[in-house]
Amino acid sequence: MATLSENSIEPEVFLSTFLLQKKTANSWRISTASDRISRLKSIREWIKEHQKDIQEVLLADFQKPPIETDLSEIYTVTSEINHAIKNLKTWMKPKSVSTPLPLLGTSGKIYYEPKGCALIIAPWNYPFNLAIGPLVSALAAGCTAIIKPSELTPNTSSLIEKMISELFDPSEVAVFQGESEVAQELLKLPFDHIFFTGSPAVGKIIMKAAAENLTSVTLELGGKSPVIIDQDANLKDAAEKLVFGKFINCGQTCVAPDYLLVHEESKEKLLMELKVALKNMYDPKFKGIDKSPDLARIINDRHFERLVSSLKEGIQKGAIIEFGGKYDAPSRYIEPTLVSSLSDDMVLMEEEIFGPILPIKTFSKLDEAISYINGKPKPLALYYFGSNTTNSARVIQETSSGNAMINDCVIHFLDLEMPFGGVNNSGIGKAHGHYGFLAFSNEKGVLKQRVGLNNATLLRPPYGAAAQKIVQSLIKWF
């Protein structure tokens, strides 16, 4: 099994594994749907047999509640596998396309060839899902893969390595654990595709490195995903959905609502509903939210300090804590916290929060909310709560985001029929289901011509009056 422990970077192991995988990738060009399906099934079986182990490593890494692991680490991967198994034959089938007039007599098809050897770099926040989900797409497309899991979730990353070593030869799929230096070394190799999930700042580093080899990239990044709560929104319904979407994984979710823009007349009622929902979900027996087994913890001390200091900075500049605000460094607990009276020079409004703090701003006209969002980098997701369909249509049309939801948040991640991803600062390229398959495939257009006389022959030199006439009529009519 190809593996590296921390601080022992051995670029030659990377290179030799990469070269072996390039060989395999060439032989996998002719892999059938059933070859690929059997690889996917082996992962599904392993996951089923090791459900408890997966729950345990995530609990150890950041006290992730087992049921959240089942939903957001296991189900997300097994549903991706099941979806791919069900659709793979259709996805792989060459697609016939129509023929333009000058090429009459030819036949065109799009073939979906595997790109080859892929590099998958995963983050810590959904460490199993975001390493193995892209692997499912890579294997479905017929690619080999090297995975670099996050160094911040050592227990999960070791389990990923164990799983891969039990199921695959390193010449097919390999895992290299370690710090960011491991990723930097791997990035020097001319992979056929890089699938990166992480922050926009590191996304830029990945794209620069990929440019050296002109490697295609999928960048699944983050950013501040806004929520608009319009005047006519059902506030109880919105509050319950927002509390779930914001505080699952303790707010450490790429598509978590980052801040709320609520109509000024609804603010007080919304705050009340958010508090009720928070109590109902995380403190139903009045023992204190810190006793809830359903709230994960902050991943490490650095992120804990970052969150607490951004809260303190906000308060110093006039922010008001409407709910929560307690924290405990030894257990890296931060109480779900609602904050109002925000200004744009606060870190809370400048940077992706990625934790259980929810800023709430107000607006008086929808245009204000739209232009506020449009004044910031394009988000990964945008959520609109309200029943006025003209307003929701305006928000969808007048803003740009990777994905959007109307009257809910976060759960669009589970819809494998939809492309998932960002736009510009929040990402490049799409993932999930067919879109994941396409990310790892080269869509190769193949045009078959007949032998001898054909339409194109008429367009050859010496250009006479007939050719002139044909070209002019093509311009005029087609």
The residues carrying an active-site annotation are: 220, 254
Helix-helix angle 154-167:129-141, to 10 degrees: 30
Is 114:96 a contact under the CB 8 Å cutoff? no
Candidate residues 39, 148, 332, 430; the one interacting with ligand NAD per rule CB under 6 A:
148
Structure tokens at 352: 């992706």
Give yes or no for residue 175 binding ligand NAD (CB under 6 A): no
Which of these ranges, 22-30, 60-68, 103-111, 192-200, lies near ligand NAD under the rule CB under 6 A? 192-200
Give yes or no for residue 245 binding ligand NAD (CB under 6 A): no
Q: CB-wise, 116 or 355, nearer to ligand NAD? A: 355
Strands 173-175, 107-114: pairing is unpaired
Candidate residues 133, 142, 170, 198; the one interacting with ligand NAD per rule CB under 6 A:
198
Q: CB-wise, 118 or 130, nearer to ligand NAD? A: 130
Candidate residues 221, 296, 311, 338; the one interacting with ligand NAD per rule CB under 6 A:
221
Give yes or no for residue 220 binding ligand NAD (CB under 6 A): yes
Give yes or no for residue 133 binding ligand NAD (CB under 6 A): no
Total residues binding ligand NAD (CB under 6 A): 27
Binding string, 378-397, against ligand NAD, x = CB under 6 A? --x-----------------
Q: CB-wise, 129 or 340, nearer to ligand NAD? A: 129
Give yes or no for residue 356 binding ligand NAD (CB under 6 A): no
CA distance 465 to 225: 60
Q: 222 to 241, contacts with ligand NAD by CB under 6 A?
A: 222
Is 332:298 a contact under the CB 8 Å cutoff? yes
Which of these ranges, 73-81, 214-222, 321-329, 363-371, lies near ligand NAD under the rule CB under 6 A? 214-222
Candidate residues 99, 180, 400, 454; the one interacting with ligand NAD per rule CB under 6 A:
180
The amino acid sitting at 244 is F
Binding string, 425-454, against ligand NAD, x = CB under 6 A? --x---------------------------
Q: How far is the CB of 178 from ligand NAD (least distance, A)?
A: 8
Q: 457 to 476, contacts with ligand NAD by CB under 6 A?
A: none
Candidate residues 47, 120, 121, 159; the one interacting with ligand NAD per rule CB under 6 A:
121
Which of these ranges, 22-30, 160-168, 219-227, 229-237, lies near ligand NAD under the rule CB under 6 A? 219-227
Structure tokens at 192: 């056929």
Q: How far is the CB of 302 from ligand NAD (least distance, A)?
A: 10
Strands 144-148, 173-175: pairing is parallel
Give 225-260 as a 3 state SS string: EEEEECCCCCHHHHHHHHHHHHHHHHHCCCCCEEEE
Is 135:173 a contact under the CB 8 Å cutoff? yes
Which of these ranges, 148-156, 270-278, 281-289, 320-328, lies near ligand NAD under the rule CB under 6 A? 148-156
Give yes or no for residue 150 binding ligand NAD (CB under 6 A): yes
Closest alpha carbon to 176 in 3, 1, 19, 9: 3
Closest alpha carbon to 147 in 112, 104, 117: 117
User: Contacts from 159-164 at CB under 8 Å and sequence distance 24+?
Assistant: 159/50, 159/53, 159/54, 159/57, 159/128, 160/127, 160/128, 160/131, 160/132, 161/1, 161/3, 163/43, 163/46, 163/47, 163/50, 163/132, 164/1
Is 366:389 a contact under the CB 8 Å cutoff? no
Q: How far is the CB of 353 from ligand NAD (least distance, A)?
A: 10
Q: How far is the CB of 268 from ligand NAD (least distance, A)?
A: 31
User: Mapping DSSP to helix (H, G, I), strand (E, B) and coil, where does residue 2 land?
Assistant: coil
With left for phi above 0 and alpha for psi between -120 and 50, is residue 112 left, alpha or beta? beta
Q: 268 to 327, contacts with ligand NAD by CB under 6 A?
A: none
Give yes or no for residue 205 binding ligand NAD (CB under 6 A): yes
Is 186:10 a contact under the CB 8 Å cutoff? no
Residues 378-387 as b/e (b if ≥16 CB within 10 A, e otherwise) read bbbbbbbbbe
CA distance 409 to 383: 6
Q: How far is the CB of 213 from ligand NAD (least distance, A)?
A: 15
Vertex 47 angle, CA 55 and 14, to 5°:
100
Bridge partners, 262 (sequence order): 229, 362
Give yes or no for residue 424 binding ligand NAD (CB under 6 A): no
Q: CB-wise, 126 or 333, nearer to ligand NAD? A: 126
CA distance 164 to 173: 7
Candidate residues 238, 254, 307, 404; the one interacting with ligand NAD per rule CB under 6 A:
254
Q: CB-wise, 166 or 351, nearer to ligand NAD? A: 351
CA distance 338 to 476: 62
Candidate residues 51, 107, 158, 184; the one interacting with ligand NAD per rule CB under 6 A:
184
Give yes or no for residue 117 binding ligand NAD (CB under 6 A): no
Q: CB-wise, 65 or 422, nearer to ligand NAD? A: 422
Residues that bind ligand NAD (CB under 6 A): 121-126, 130, 148, 150-151, 180, 183-184, 197-199, 202, 205, 220-222, 254, 352, 354, 380, 422, 427
